């Protein structure tokens, strides 16, 4: 993986269909920064897909200029241009008569790579998107689940290592759980690849999760607001944007923050083999019992501690914990489930601290104040 | 003399007629496929064009084969030319219609993805759309072949090649010693050959249709 993202610049781009009064896209200007994910979000029919499709000229703009990495996209042969711009769509659009490996190898083939290089590349891409080449390369699309098809779609889009990737609701047709996984994987990939990605969706939550920047689009693809997700959540530009952000903006903002970004509290802890009488609670009313490898086991209350013979069976088990990578929204969920503090664990499941509601509230208020 | 004895006795001539019959049908089907697919490709994007091409091909099919031969003989004369033209015309309808249906049935998302990743228009057509429409086109050719096997018999009226001449001389000499044998040989021969060709279509389908789209 060599090629990093290039900047995309749209300048006064307009698309007008003959015989229609209103333009489909009117005077659209935007800079998509190199190596970032920009999400176009807006209601159906607002022109977000049309705008995206003008970048690889599946739709020719009526006027305006588009440059990719400084190069005028309108001066490149459209087929060449599209071979250099990754493209992934809803329901993947895989070729049903090609195997998975053939599907992924199409663009390298069009670019004239030799057989060996293409085969190596296909294998690399399958590893990248988490499909075992041995098991999947000979399968046909209809033998895959929806989520697996989308992975192949992403692998195909990335196969020729394009600096720019266009994604049109690529996860729109899969179930919510799979969609969550695919989103996580896209973020993981992007951490490695640093492509410039234009991502179209009508799901604002998806936009918040994936976007480095979000463009909220209105009719004729007018930009209502173009900013970072937290800025849009904290401070929507107008009522339309606010309506689109929807209720629960504060909760959505919590999905942007990770547990590792906030200051953790500490509980009183004790090893599971310690004698109950040796535990020093001080001001606290609970002790967190850890196993031999420091993994959290149980919460024991002050009163139970007095009667308990050992810490192994006293109190109640820790049912829900979060990791440093979890979002604050997950942490909030854990707090609600646990009825108080959420236990935070590290990479090996070891105890690293606790998080309480006061901390979360403070974070939300600070976000509001900064925006 | 029964049918088997008749066949054994005239094996040389009959096997040559059978070969000519099959060869005429197969060649005409292939020629019709080339013309039919080209027509389908030319019109499938336009609803009006598609309707027009299908209607035209249907009209040809409604002309009785004797009438068509009668119309063609003055232009192309007696013999193979007239037979070929008639057979190709009759084979067009199933092939044109199935080509149009097959191409129109390609998921637009697949064609869009093909364009979007940089295939040329010609590439999208030959590597994706026609490949996906191929099972339908092949089914059209199969129907066409079956039809032509029967129609080729009638073509003997225009002095075309094949088993039709057996049937016609059987008819012409009705009542004479071998007339029934001739008619039977011609008819049964055509049926057997049609079944053989159909088997070959099953084989071709297996070999040329990707496992990813086979039903």
Nearest to A205 by CA among A249, A160, A163: A249
- B94 falls within a domain: yes
Task: Write the burial class of residue A268 (CB in 10 Å: 0-12 exposed, 13-18 middle, 19+ buried).
Answer: middle
Would you state the pLDDT for residue A1?
45
Say how far apart CA A202 and CA A186 lie, in whole Å: 18
Segment A49-87, tens digit of pLDDT: 999 999 999 999 999 999 999 899 999 999 999 999 999
- B138 falls within a domain: yes
Distance from CA of B43 to the nearest CA of A (A): 22
Asked whether the beta carbons of residue B213 and residue A81 sit closer than 8 angstroms, the reply is no
Residues 6+ apart with CB under 8 A from B5: none
- The CATH code of the domain that includes B83 is 1.10.3720.10
Please report, rounded to a whole number, the percentage of residues in chain A having pLDDT higher than 90. 46
- B185 falls within a domain: yes
DSSP 3-state of A168: strand
Interface test with B, best of A91, A93, A164 (most B CBs within 10 A): A93
Mean pLDDT of B173-192: 88
Same topology, domains A8-247 and A260-368? Answer is no
Residues of B in Cβ contact (< 8 Å) with A137: none
- B127 falls within a domain: yes
- B162 falls within a domain: yes
- By C-alpha distance, the chain B residue nearest A139 is B212
Please report, rounded to a whole number, the percentage of residues in chain B having pLDDT higher than 90. 63
Nearest to A87 by CA among A58, A109, A61: A58
Alpha carbon B24 to its chain centroid, in Å, reads 10
Token duo for residue A80: 């060449």
- By C-alpha distance, the chain A residue nearest B208 is A97
Segment B100-113, tens digit of pLDDT: 999 999 999 999 99
- B196 falls within a domain: yes
By residue range, what is the domain housing residue B163?
3-208
Q: Which residues in B have their CB inside 8 Å of a CB on A?
A: 107, 109-110, 112-120, 123, 128, 131-132, 210-213
Class of the CATH-defined domain A260-368: alpha beta
Does position B58 have pLDDT exceeding 60, yes or no? yes
Segment A153-183, tens digit of pLDDT: 999 999 999 999 999 999 888 888 888 888 8
How do strand A351-355 and strand A342-345 relate by DSSP bridges? antiparallel
Segment A24-50, tens digit of pLDDT: 999 999 999 999 999 999 888 889 999
pLDDT, averaged across chain A? 88
Interface test with A, best of B105, B112, B115, B117 (most A CBs within 10 A): B117
Does position A4 have pLDDT exceeding 50, yes or no? yes
Would you state the pLDDT for residue A370?
67
Choose the weakest-confidence range: A92-96, A246-250, B147-151, B163-167. A246-250
Class of the CATH-defined domain A8-247: alpha beta
Annotated domain spans of chain A: 8-247, 260-368
Does the beta carbon of A95 lie under 8 angstroms from any beta carbon of chain B? yes
Asked whether the beta carbons of residue B115 and residue A82 sit closer than 8 angstroms, the reply is yes
Segment A240-266, tens digit of pLDDT: 888 888 767 777 778 778 888 888 889
Residues of A in Cβ contact (< 8 Å) with B120: 79
Choose the weakest-confidence range: A324-338, B55-69, B180-194. A324-338
Give the count of domains, chain B: 1
């Amino acid at each position: 993986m060599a090629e990093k993202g290039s900047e995309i610049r749209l300048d006064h781009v307009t698309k007008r269909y003959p015989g229609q009064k209103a333009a489909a896209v009117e005077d659209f200007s935007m800079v998509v920064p190199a190596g970032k994910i920009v999400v176009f979000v807006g209601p159906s029919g607002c022109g977000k897909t049309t705008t995206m499709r003008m970048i690889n000229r599946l739709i020719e703009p009526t006027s305006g200029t588009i440059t990719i990495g400084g190069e005028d996209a309108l001066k490149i042969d459209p087929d060449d241009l599209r071979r250099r711009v990754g493209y992934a769509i809803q329901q993947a659009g895989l070729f049903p008569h090609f195997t998975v490996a053939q599907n992924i190898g199409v663009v390298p083939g069009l670019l004239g790579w030799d057989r060996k290089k293409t085969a190596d590349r296909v294998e690399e891409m399958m590893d990248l998107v988490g499909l075992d080449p041995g098991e999947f390369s000979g399968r046909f699309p209809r033998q895959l689940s929806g989520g697996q098809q989308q992975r192949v779609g992403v692998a195909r889009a990335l196969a020729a290592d394009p600096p720019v990737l266009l994604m049109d609701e690529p996860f729109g047709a899969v179930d919510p759980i799979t969609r969550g996984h695919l989103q996580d994987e896209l973020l993981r990939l992007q951490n490695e690849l640093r492509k410039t990605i234009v991502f179209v969706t009508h799901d604002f939550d998806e936009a918040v999760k994936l976007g480095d920047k979000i463009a909220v689009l209105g009719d004729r693809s007018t930009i209502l607001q173009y900013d970072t997700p937290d800025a849009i959540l904290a401070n929507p530009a107008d009522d339309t944007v606010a309506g689109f952000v929807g209720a629960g903006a504060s909760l959505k903002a919590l999905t942007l923050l990770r547990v590792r970004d906030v200051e953790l509290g500490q509980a009183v802890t004790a090893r599971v083999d310690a004698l109950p009488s040796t535990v020093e609670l001080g001001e606290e009313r609970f002790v967190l019992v850890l196993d031999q490898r420091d993994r959290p086991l149980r919460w024991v209350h002050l009163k139970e501690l007095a009667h308990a013979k050992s810490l192994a069976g006293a109190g109640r088990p820790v049912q829900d914990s979060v990791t440093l990578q979890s979002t604050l929204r997950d942490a909030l969920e854990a707090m609600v489930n646990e009825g108080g503090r959420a236990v935070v664990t590290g990479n090996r499941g070891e105890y690293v601290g606790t998080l309480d509601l006061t901390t979360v509230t403070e974070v939300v208020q600070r976000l509001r104040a900064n925006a | 003399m029964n049918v088997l004895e008749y066949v054994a006795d005239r094996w040389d001539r009959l096997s040559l007629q059978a070969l000519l019959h099959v060869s005429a049908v197969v060649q005409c089907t292939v020629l019709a496929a080339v013309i039919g697919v080209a027509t389908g490709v030319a019109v499938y994007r336009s609803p009006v064009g598609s309707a027009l091409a299908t209607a035209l091909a249907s009209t040809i099919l409604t002309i009785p084969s004797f009438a068509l031969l009668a119309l063609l003989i003055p232009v192309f004369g007696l013999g193979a030319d007239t037979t070929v033209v008639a057979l190709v015309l009759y084979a067009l309808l199933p092939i044109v219609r199935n080509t149009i249906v097959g191409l129109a049935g390609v998921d637009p998302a697949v064609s869009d993805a093909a364009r979007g990743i940089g295939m040329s228009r010609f590439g999208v057509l030959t590597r994706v759309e026609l490949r996906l429409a191929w099972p339908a086109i092949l089914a059209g050719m199969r129907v066409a072949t079956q039809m032509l096997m029967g129609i080729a018999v009638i073509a003997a009226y225009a002095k075309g090649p094949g088993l039709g001449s057996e049937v016609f001389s059987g008819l012409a000499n009705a009542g004479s010693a071998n007339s029934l044998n001739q008619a039977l040989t011609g008819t049964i021969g055509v049926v057997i050959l049609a079944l053989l060709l159909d088997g070959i279509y099953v084989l071709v389908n297996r070999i040329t249709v990707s496992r990813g789209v086979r039903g």
